[in-house]
Each structure stands twice: as structure tokens, then as C-alpha cells.
Structure 1
């Protein structure tokens, strides 16, 4: 049973909320250093709580600023608990269609992975988890929601969310991604109970925010160890999550391409292509800009832009049986698994997922044009262009308990920090008793 709870959110006061664009910020793992420096110039921007400026004690600085904002009324806590509807309106490059990703923010119990209530699809880096756990332990304040997916083919909750959106609390003009973000709240106790009932028999797939979620797990585990008499319902058992319906057509996953900064072991272009030819049909192309189009919808097909020359790569039919990594059939079937095994391991000699995660010669780039530009400038030797992962693939992999190659998914758009915050202080009451389904 996935237990969710409404929250008494902390939000920017009504005057500041009218200019919410000035105070929202990108998530800690996507905000660039350049963006950070711009946002730090605004003394009230949420970046100061979510990604405090590095110094002697960043988490302590965030706590001091939080206390100041609460005492001076910059942040105010809503009187009634609620579930917060969060819509993001956006367009994709080359399309005139406006999408609307519909979801809601609430607390969810911070389940251990072994409980199989919240399912992951990627591994985490300990340093990033520790950073999030330390910030949470010092502030006891959750500054941005992770993104979780539940499946409801009947789309029952959307009608309640749509009703709430008739009276929004705040909205951005256009965020850093070009999306428009709208926040509203549901405070009707009966409707909130229905949200709890529907989620009570669902598993949740963690789409985005693995490090923040594990930071909550780490903090919860430390608190439980320190207090063996805890009752299981203290505020620190819960984690702030943005939940969206995996059955929605407006849930978009964009591809993340691989940029090879170098060819290891003094490998030259000719030998690299020869090694690729052992496993792929390698077809030179006239123009690089057609690479995404000619691989679209084709299994185990990739674009390669190497030293200014484009190629199409298509795995040979008999080659896939050579893939001998110790993982599930669902993971082996993924395009990115094929790319990482046959290109990074077999052709480049970077053996095994662990070595590939640590290899500094590969970087992950979402923008296709940027890939071409960085190869043409000499900053990189090659770009590997891939298709996006589908929602079906994400669900199939997660339900096997396996994980995907790094940076397999990019759920678009990213949620924003700063629309609301939640407290998990010891004196913060749990709004409702945990929901218990009828037997």
C-alpha cells in the first residue's frame, strides 16, 4: 500500500507569489553553475534553500535563511492541509501542439527499495545522496518534489485536479525550459481521501529525483536508529513527491545522447569503425541533421557523428545474443544497453557498467544540435545519437527490480523548486491518520 498524506505547505507570501517567476529555480541536479550564479543574486530566490552557495557550512546557511524567511513572513504556511495540483504546459521542438502534464504534490511514506512500493530505474552516486541527506537533516525542510509515476488507466483523479485549476494559487509566465507552471490546491477532506484510496493499491515508479529520495531514506533510517520507540508516523517518515499518471499521453520522455570526448587507448577513427562493423551495419550518411529521423522507431539503431562524418548504426540480427551482462531480458532489450555494451565495452574497451559510469570520456547531452556543434568544434571526437526510452520500457524494467544504464530517461519538462516547500520537523503534525483500506 502506497501511503500518501496531504501537507500544510510553506509558500511565498501572496505578494511575492504574484511574481513567482523571480523565486522559482531549477532542480539541484539540472541547474548549471551559470544559472546558480544568476539566481544567487536574488536574496529571496529558492535556490538559497535547495542548492545553498558553497562555503564553510552550506546547510547551516540554508537553515539560517529558512528561519529568517519564516520569521519575517517571506514564507507562510497554509492553514489547512491539502494536495497541490501542479500543471505544466509546454511544447516540444518542431511541434505546435501544447501539452499539459497534470500531477499533484503530496507527502508519500519514504519506503525502502526492498518494500517494492517505490521502484527505481537508475543507480545513484553516494556523494550526491549524502549532500541531500545532510541538507535535509539540518533544515528538516523539503525544498523540491521528486517525480513519481502511478498508473490509473481510468484517469479518475484528473477531474479533481482540473476543478482545482479553476482557481490557481500562482503561475509562472514561462520558466527556464519554456514551460508554464500552474499551482492549485485541493483541501476537501473527502476528495483527499479518494486520492489516498486510489494510491493505496499502487506502486510508484520514481521518474526523477533518485538522489533526493535516497536522501530522505538515509535521513529516515538515521532517525529510526536514534529513536527505537518511534511510532512510524513522525513527520520525518515522509517525503515530498510530485505524482503523475503513467497512462497520460502528455507524459514525455526525451532522449539523452552520448558525447565521446575521446577514443580511449589511442584508438583511431579507422579502427573504431572496424570494431563497430563487427556488430553493426555501419552506413555513411550525406547529412548529419537526418540522423534522428533515420533511426526513429527502429530498435537498436543509432546515429554516429564521428570526426564530422555521419553514420547510421544498426545492430546485426545475430549480434544481440552476445550481450552477456548479468541483467534482465527487459534491460538487455533496451537501445541504451545495446549502445553501452557494443559501443562502449566491445568497441571502446570500457568494460562493465561500473567502469562506464566512472569513465570521464563520456558526457550526456540532450540537445542534438549541441552534439554536432561540440564534435565540429573539436571538443569531442564523436556523438552517439539515440531514440527516447518509452514509458512501457520504464515500467517493464522497474517491475523486474533491475536498473537501466545511466541517464536513460529525461522526463520533460522538469519540475520547479520554489512553488512550495514542506516541513518534516518533529513538531509538524501529520494532517490525517494513515489511510487503511477496508478488508
Structure 2
């Protein structure tokens, strides 16, 4: 089902690769404005290709890309390969070093209806259009989306472990505290085994829904312009980082909810009173203990309101009131419960679409930041939540539904600048691609 292809990656030249930390960049939505500006000041940083700026941002990216290729800032590898990508990281409060193991390659850009690549969230049309325009102008994949396949036998990891012993380059520590390492596998027999193992599997899109839909939009435009296309053209494919959903090093962190306002100028007392029919509400002395109090408990939340902490637990008998037209897998989620009973029933923001558009909610990953923003008066209340589990993600995706917005934060995020790929029409003409392309 999932067709993958090796790529002849474009990478920074040998001299620049020795200082790769200066040229990598994070995804555009996970850093502060100050951090972003520092990256833009470096004229060779990859952010100029992945998140270009200006009135004609896509045109600026194409101009810069053309210059970088002409002057040798970026060079293309001679042989196609699958690129092993490891991220070493620690979680706060834990001495353990995790290592998320994966690989980057091209995957066919399947429409959602084909049920090969599965999504778990909706997208915003404007953001998709921006990514599609950038792809159309540059025909260059600048940052891999993150996909998940499941292999309980961990067959591919032994090839990845062998390759990572000879890295192409590695960061000292990226913006999120992770150490990133890139290597390449160019053995044709091994690459074919990767293709064989992925072929019968579905892939869950963990991160990068807008970029993936940008590839879909561009592919649809090209197909419309060329009805005689064979399906083997490079623009049918998309750059993806694939990791094993069975691995213990795949971490999902919670994203908490800040209420920037309470509609109708609700007082604290009125808000708490409206929560009572749906939740047991228990005051707690130590707000910083809320995550531990919630851990492992279904439909349990922390509330921080005017300096006072509370533990909330949905009254089990009211769950049947959850009337949204969605699957049982989605209805069972903590965040669905929170969005339905708090945002809709208590605050009157009716339905998922209205909630996505409502400016009164903000999404914050860092727990102490939630408390401090309430204390500073930047928000009226904070809801602290548990993380979504990988099992929940898989159940929702296979049910054909989507989660509430900002349900998952797969950690760490991939970085840009490690690997670029081309989807130009002539890119697969290279003789070394033929063993991997059944259409040639």
C-alpha cells in the first residue's frame, strides 16, 4: 500500500556541513519570534527555503535556491539512498536518554480517500495554499513531514543502527535540546527491503498535515495539467520522515489549553458553578502538583483559575451526553471531553468548527507557562491535560475521524536543513533510480 522511493538528497557542501548547527532550522510554528529572527539573519540558513519571507516569498525562495545550487552551497548526492535520521533527547525530570530512530525517503502522495496515509487532524486552507505555492515554484522539498508505520518485529532498525555508525553529520544540540544525526543507506538490496516492508502498511501522519496537503494540492494541479501523466513523475512523491509506532522512544507530549477570556464576562464563581453539573471539582493547594494528580486518569483535568488550582473529573454518567457526530474512538479522548463539556456546554462555543476559529483559546505545551500567564493576567484560566497515547492516535486514525485541534505534540520535532529533495520532472531520469522504480 505505501510506496516509498530512495532519493538523491541535496545537502550542504562538505565545508558547511562541518558547521551544520548554523544552518538547520526548526519548524516555523514551534519557535519564538526572537529565535526566528536570529535564523533569518544568517543568509545561508535553511529557513530561507522552508519559510521564506517577502511579498513574493516563493519567488525569493526559488531565487535563493537557484543561487545555492549554482554556487555549490547545496550539492546533490550521486547515488539514491534512504537517509537514517536519529534524534537523541531527554525529557524533563528523567535521567534517561531516548533515541527516536527513523529514516527519510520519498513516499507517494496518497489522497486521504485512498486510506494509505491517515490523518488525525484537520488543516487550514490558507496554510495549505502557501505550502503548495512554495512547492510549485521551487519543486523542492525543504522539510520532511513525520509519518508512523508499525513493525513490532523492528526489522529495519538493524539496518538503521548499522548506518548511523557512519554519520554524514550531527548537531551538537538543536533548539529543543535534542541531538540530531544523519546517515545514508545506499545498498540497493537493503533499500528494496525497506520498500517491501512498507508496501503492505498504512502510514499515520504524525506531524506536517499542511505540508503534506500542499504536496497533494500540487500533485492534483500537475495531474490536471497533464492527463497523460504516468504516475511515476517525481511530483507524485513527498519527503517524509518515517518512524516505528511500536518504539518506546516515540514520545507524545500534552498541549494544555489557556482560556484567554470567559465569554459573557463570567465571574470565577459562575464559571465553577457551570462546571459542577459535568465534573467533580476539588480544590488543590499546590498547582504544580496537577500533572501528577492527573496522570493515568481518564477524563481528568487540572484547572488553574485566579491563583487557585482544582482537579476536575468528568462525572461518568454524563459522558453519554457527548453528541458530536464522530466515532467512539474520538468521543473517548480526554480532549474531546474537554472541548465538548467546557468549550461547548459551559462556555457556549458550539461545535468543533466554531471552537477552531474562536480566538479565546490558546495552546501551550509548557506547563509552568500556563500558570504564569494566568498569574500575569494574560489568561483567565488554564486547563492542564494528560498526553494522548500512541494507541489512541492509532484508534482514531483507523476509525476515519480526526482529533480536536492541537491534540498531539510528537517530541522532538524534526529539523530543517538536514536534507532537501527535488521533485523536478527530470530528477528520476538518473540511471541509478531504475532498480527501485517499478515503472522504469
Q: Which interval holds the TM-score relative to the shorter structure?
A: over 0.9
Query: Which residue number corresponds to residue 420 of structure 1?
Result: 419
Contact 1:107 1:238 in 2 (8 A): yes
Report the 3-state secondary structure (helix = DSSP H, G, I; strand = E; otherwise coil) of the residue aligned with 1:337: helix
Name the CA distance, whole Å, in 2 between partners of 1:362 and 1:198: 42
Gaps of 5+ in 1: none
Deviations 1:137-180 (A, max 9, x none): 00000000000000000000000000001100000000000000
Gaps of 5+ in 2: none
Name the CA distance, whole Å, in 2 between partners of 1:36 and 1:432: 41
Query: Which residue number corresponds to residue 284 of structure 1?
Result: 283
2:185 counterpart of 1:186 = yes
Query: Which residue number corresponds to residue 69 of structure 1?
Result: 68
- Root-mean-square deviation (CA), in Å? 0.9
Query: Which residue number corresponds to residue 227 of structure 1?
Result: 226
Query: Which residue number corresponds to residue 23 of structure 1?
Result: 23
Query: Which residue number corresponds to residue 127 of structure 1?
Result: 126
**Displacement of 1:417:** 0.3
Which structure 2 residues correspond to residues 187-202 of structure 1 after superposition, within 5 A?
187-202=186-201
Name the CA distance, whole Å, in 2 between partners of 1:27 and 1:186: 25
Name the CA distance, whole Å, in 1 between partners of 2:28 and 2:190: 32
Query: Which residue number corresponds to residue 52 of structure 2?
Result: 52
Contact 1:6 1:432 in 2 (8 A): no
Query: Which residue number corresponds to residue 258 of structure 1?
Result: 257
Contact 2:192 2:436 in 1 (8 A): no
Name the CA distance, whole Å, in 2 between partners of 1:153 and 1:410: 23
Name the CA distance, whole Å, in 1 between partners of 2:350 and 2:65: 46
Name the CA distance, whole Å, in 2 between partners of 1:78 and 1:203: 29
TM (norm. structure 1) is 0.98
Query: Which residue number corresponds to residue 324 of structure 1?
Result: 323
**Displacement of 1:35:** 1.9
Report the 3-state secondary structure (helix = DSSP H, G, I; strand = E; otherwise coil) of the residue aligned with 2:428: coil
Name the CA distance, whole Å, in 2 between partners of 1:292 and 1:212: 32
**Displacement of 1:337:** 0.2
Name the CA distance, whole Å, in 2 between partners of 1:278 and 1:433: 64
Name the CA distance, whole Å, in 2 between partners of 1:230 and 1:35: 43
Deviations 1:370-406 (A, max 9, x none): 0000000000000000000000000000001100000
Which structure 2 residues correspond to residues 98-109 of structure 1 after superposition, within 5 A?
98-109=97-108
Report the 3-state secondary structure (helix = DSSP H, G, I; strand = E; otherwise coil) of the residue aligned with 1:429: helix
Once structures 1 and 2 are overlaid, which stretch shifts more, 212-221 or 316-325?
316-325
Report the 3-state secondary structure (helix = DSSP H, G, I; strand = E; otherwise coil) of the residue aligned with 1:181: strand
Name the CA distance, whole Å, in 2 between partners of 1:31 and 1:117: 31
Contact 1:6 1:192 in 2 (8 A): yes
Report the 3-state secondary structure (helix = DSSP H, G, I; strand = E; otherwise coil) of the residue aligned with 1:319: helix
2:346 counterpart of 1:347 = yes
**Displacement of 1:435:** 6.1
Contact 2:252 2:408 in 1 (8 A): yes
Contact 1:5 1:434 in 2 (8 A): yes
